[in-house]
Amino acid sequence: MASSFELVCPAGGLPALKTAVDHGADCVYTGFRDETNARNFTGLNFDDKSLKEGIAYAHQRGVKVLIALNTFPQSGNWPQWTAAVDKAAAFGVDAIILADAGLMEYAHRTHPQLRLHLSVQGSATNYEAINFYRERFNIQRAVLPRVLSMAQVEHVVKNTPVEIEVFGFGGLCVMVEGRCALSGYATGMSPNSYGACSPGKVVRYEETPTGMETRLNGILVDRFAKDERAGYPTLCKGRFEVDDATYYAIEEPASLNTLELLPDLLRIGIRAIKIEGRQRSPAYVGQVTKVWRAAMDAVKRDPDHFTIHPVWMTELNKISEGQSATLGAYNRPWK
Amino acid sequence: MSLPFKLPQQLPDFTLPAPLAKLGDRLPQLPPTLALVTGLNLGLGRLIPREPLEPLIGKRFLIRVTDAGMSMRFAYGARGFRPVFDSAPPDLTISARARDFIALLAREEDPDTLFFNRRLLMQGDTDLGLLVKNTLDGVDLPRFDPSRLTLSELLHRLRARLATSPGAV
């Protein structure tokens, strides 16, 4: 059983990184300003100057900086991804988060001292896959896809020496990470190779007499009535007409919130809790980091008597996507 | 961006009285537009980097403060922001209440949160909106530090500025 776990917070820019550090993150994860990471949104992410300053700021305060290089290079653009690995190593980041096995091989061979994390985009849901990556590329940590029940997560932890990181909070999607083709189907651009799901250049919002319409590359994804909560413009969270009924044909927008599972996550030996949202602003990062720091400190102090402060839930519900917060796949009592 | 004064811990939720929106709608829009573009131009090249904003050149914007009846039309060019007076359709329209614009500027609210809650609407070229939002989110502002506002500190900074001002931009 681990006696401690790390809080891993998102940063889409230098102010968000500093906010995460100031509010109690143990690690901050970031990305370069290109398609080598899965949050390649216009204007987001770090240029060299801000990354250098961010790493210095974090390291001075004992906080680690991770770089996500978690998209899949293609044969024509391979050098761009290896250059990104080299750059991350040169910057002195604490780890890089990879999804592509070829890139892992490159990183392991070229920078044997560089710590490698397996991204959620690598979609490894069982300990055999994780142990394979450990054996071949010496990965030190794996981020589990959000599809496993608590019992399955525990089974993975028990059967691998690799540190296991799980998502604690943030927007959910269909969770076919690294394999989802929905955005690619509608727009020709997917998080796997382009680095963004539903990129801004193909998204349009329009207020109409019947509500706010969201279109993705011309496809009507949803129409929100006045005062109805909106979600991100992704196909998986759209409402579609199927057999004369209009509903969330794939899934309802929802946000993961696992605060109540913290004692169990600590007990089964989870080493890190990840907060989703590099596309969000410093305000979000500050709000969510503050709550999770307080909750994780409370559970570490006294795991047997951990209770959720109502203010934590109010704060987190305010910033969540969708109508509901959920435990996601963790909560499958029948498993 | 942060404001040059300290806001309360949490900005209270308020909507300006409804008559104000009707009144504001009939008032000239130039003064608030001028104030906005002047503020933006002051920050350009200092707080707000010019280089990432290059895709905005030639684009037209409309900021609608819904509860104040304010519609500020402006454009961005090589020389900065300027008000526009014609009614050509904007490339990007951002609408919200005064309270939410202030909270965004103070970095107290996250734009996605306001969007989920239907308090912020972005119409037109969404990518331009993302560029603006992410560029502003990436601006690393100096922290507000009251100790820097003491008389001796202000005089010291003034002297330092005067000493280096010739030719400085």
> A271: domain range?
6-172+254-330
A320: nearest Cα among A170, A168, A214: A170
List the domain boundaries for chain B.
Answer: 18-164
For the cut 70, the answer to whether the pLDDT of residue B146 exceeds it is no
For the cut 90, the answer to whether the pLDDT of residue A210 exceeds it is yes
Domain boundary among A198, A230, A248: A248
Question: Is there a single domain that holds both residue A236 and residue A110?
Answer: no
Question: Is there a single domain that holds both residue A117 and residue A213?
Answer: no
Instruction: Look at A281 and B127 and tell me if their CB atoms are within 8 Å.
Output: no
Question: Is there a single domain that holds both residue A164 and residue A273?
Answer: yes
Question: Is there a single domain that holds both residue A244 and residue A283?
Answer: no
Domain count, chain A: 2
Question: Is there a single domain that holds both residue A194 and residue A221?
Answer: yes
Question: Is there a single domain that holds both residue A41 and residue A153?
Answer: yes
Question: Is there a single domain that holds both residue A266 and residue A242?
Answer: no
**Residue B6 pLDDT:** 45
Domain boundary among A224, A248, A272: A248
Which three-class secondary structure string do you get for B122-165? EEECHHHHHHHHHHHHCCCCCCCCHHHHCHHHHHHHHHHHHHHC
**pTM, entire model:** 0.90
What would the pLDDT profile of A274-288 be if each residue is shown by its tens digit? 999 999 999 999 999
Question: Is there a single domain that holds both residue A168 and residue A187?
Answer: no
Kindly state the average pLDDT of the residues A87-114: 98
Kindly state the average pLDDT of the residues A190-197: 93
Ranking A27-31, A259-263, B140-144 by mean pLDDT, the lowest is: B140-144
Question: Is there a single domain that holds both residue A25 and residue A102?
Answer: yes
Q: pLDDT confidence of B8, banded at 50, 70, 90?
A: very low
- % of chain B residues with pLDDT over 70: 82
Query: B141: distance to nearest CA of chain A, Å?
Result: 8
Question: Is there a single domain that holds both residue A194 and residue A111?
Answer: no
**Residue B2 pLDDT:** 43
For the cut 50, the answer to whether the pLDDT of residue A237 exceeds it is yes
How high is the mean pLDDT of chain A?
94
Query: The domain that contains A149 carries what CATH number?
Result: 3.20.20.380
B105: nearest Cα among A188, A104, A282, A255: A282
Kindly state the average pLDDT of the residues A311-323: 86
Instruction: Look at B115 and A230 and tell me if their CB atoms are within 8 Å.
Output: yes
- % of chain B residues with pLDDT over 90: 44
**Residue B21 pLDDT:** 81
Nearest CA in chain B to A284: B110
Domain boundary among A248, A274, A295: A248
**Residue B165 pLDDT:** 52
**DSSP letter string, A115-168:** -EEE-GGG---SHHHHHHHHHHH---EEEPPTT--HHHHHHHHHT-SSEEEEEE
Q: Is residue A335 part of a domain?
A: no
Query: A205: distance to nearest CA of chain B, Å?
Result: 5
Q: Is residue A177 part of a domain?
A: no
B114: nearest Cα among A318, A211, A237: A318
Chain A residues whose beta carbon lies within 8 Å of the beta carbon of residue B134: 12-13, 41-44
**Residue B145 pLDDT:** 55
Q: pLDDT confidence of B147, banded at 50, 70, 90?
A: low
Question: Is there a single domain that holds both residue A72 and residue A149?
Answer: yes
Kindly state the average pLDDT of the residues A236-252: 91
What would the pLDDT profile of A54-63 be if each residue is shown by its tens digit? 999 999 999 9
For residue A332, count other CB atoms closer than 10 A to its CB. 13
Q: Give the domain B18-164 fold.
A: Nonspecific Lipid-transfer Protein; Chain A (3.30.1050)
